[in-house]
Amino acid sequence: MITVHSYPLAVALCVLTMFCWGSWANTLKMEPRTYAFSLFYWDQGIGYLLLPLILGLTLGSLGSTGRTLFADLHQASAATYGWALAGGVVFNLANILFMAALDLAGMAVAYPIAIGLALVEGVVINYIADPHGSPLLIFIGVACITLAIVLDALAYRNAQGNTSAPGRLRLGISLALAGGFLMGLFYFLVERSISLDFHQLTPGKFGPYAAVLIYSLGSFVSNFAFNHYLMSHPIQGPKVTYSDFFKADFKFHAIGALGGIINGIGVTSNFVASRAASPAIAYGLGQCGTMIAAIWGIFVWKELKGSTIGTNALVAFMFVFFLAGLSLLVTSMLR
C-alpha cells in the first residue's frame, strides 16, 4: 500500500482533509430545497463508502509496504473490525445530531458547542493515546482554533440573529453537546483498529485504507437506523419514503454522492497521514474544516453580505486566531 512517512507531506494531506471536511456540505446547497436532507444523506453515504473502496483497491493495494486491501481485511481480528465499525456508527450518529442541533438552535449556538467540544476532546484523547509533539503548542493551537470557532458563531449571530424558542434552544444545546461529544470520540475508536506502524503492520490490525473502508461501512449501515428514523421524523419539511429516493432525478443523487466522495477523500487522507503527523495533529488540522466552511459561507455564498463593522471585525479576528492555531499545530511536531 502507498503510505506517507514525510511530515510535510502528512501536513499537506491533513490540509487536504481540512478543505474536504469544510467543503463537502456545499453539495447540499447545490441541491434544490425540495430535495429532503435525509435523501441527500443516503446519497452522500453511498459516495462516502465507494471512495474508500476505490482508494483501497488502488493506493491501498499498490506499493512495496504493508498488505493489499483484501489481505488486510482477511487477517484482521474481530476486535479490529469492531473498533472500526464502532467508529463509523458513532460518527454517523454524531453528524446527524449536529445537523439537528443546527436546525433547532442555529449556527451561533451549535457550532461553538459541538465542534469546539469535538476539537478539544478529540485532540486531548488522541494525544494521550499517542503523545507526539509539543503539548504546549498543541493545546494553545487548539485553544486558538476553538476561539476562532466561537468568533465565527458570534459573527453569524450578529448577522442573522437567533429566533429559536427557549424549548427548541434547550433541545438544540443538548443535541449539540451529545453530537460534539461523539464527534470527538469517533477518531479515537477508529485509531484503535489501525497498526501503530504503517511500514511494519501489526498482525490483526488494519492499515489505514482497510480501516477507513470498514469505518465507512459502519457509517453507511447505521443509516438504516439513524437516517431511516430521520426520513419519518424529519428535522424540517415533510416525511419522505424510499420510493421518493428512487424516483428522484439522477443529478440529485450525483450531487449527493459527490459530497460523500469529497468527505471520503478527506477522511482517507487524514488516516493515511496520521502516523507521520500523529493522530492528535491529524485530527486537529482536519477539524479546522469548520473555518473552511466559514470561508465558503462568507465569500462564496455571501451569508454575511451587508454585515455591520462589528461583525466584519469578528470575522477578521476569527481568521487571525484560526491561522495562529493552524501554525501552532503544524510547528508543534518540529519541536
| Residue % of the chain over a pLDDT of 90 | 76
**Residue 303 included in any domain:** no
- Between residues 163 and 277, which one has the greater pLDDT? 277
Q: Which domain holds residue 115?
A: 7-122+164-277
- Between residues 97 and 100, which one has the greater pLDDT? 97
Residue 219 has pLDDT above 90, yes or no: yes
**Residue 73 included in any domain:** yes
**Residue 54 included in any domain:** yes
**Residue 140 included in any domain:** no
Q: Please report the pLDDT score of residue 163 as a whole number.
A: 58
Per the structure, the count of domains in the chain is 1
**Residue 146 included in any domain:** no
**Residue 291 included in any domain:** no
Overall average pLDDT of the 160-182 stretch: 82
HEC profile of the chain: CCCCCCHHHHHHHHHHHHHHHHHCCHHHHHCCCCCCHHHHHHHHHHHHHHHHHHHHHCHHHCCCCCCCHHHHHHHCCHHHHHHHHHHHHHHHHHHHHHHHHHHHHCHHHHHHHHHHHHHHHHHHHHHHHCCCCCHHHHHHHHHHHHHHHHHHHHHHHHHHCCCCCHHHHHHHHHHHHHHHHHHHHHHHHHHCCECCCCCCCCCCCECHHHHHHHHHHHHHHHHHHHHHHHHHCCCCCCCCCHHHHHHCCHHHHHHHHHHHHHHHHHHHHHHHHHHHHCHHHHHHHHCCHHHHHHHHHHHHCCCCCCCCHHHHHHHHHHHHHHHHHHHHHHHHHHC
**Residue 157 included in any domain:** no
**Residue 55 included in any domain:** yes
pTM of the model: 0.93
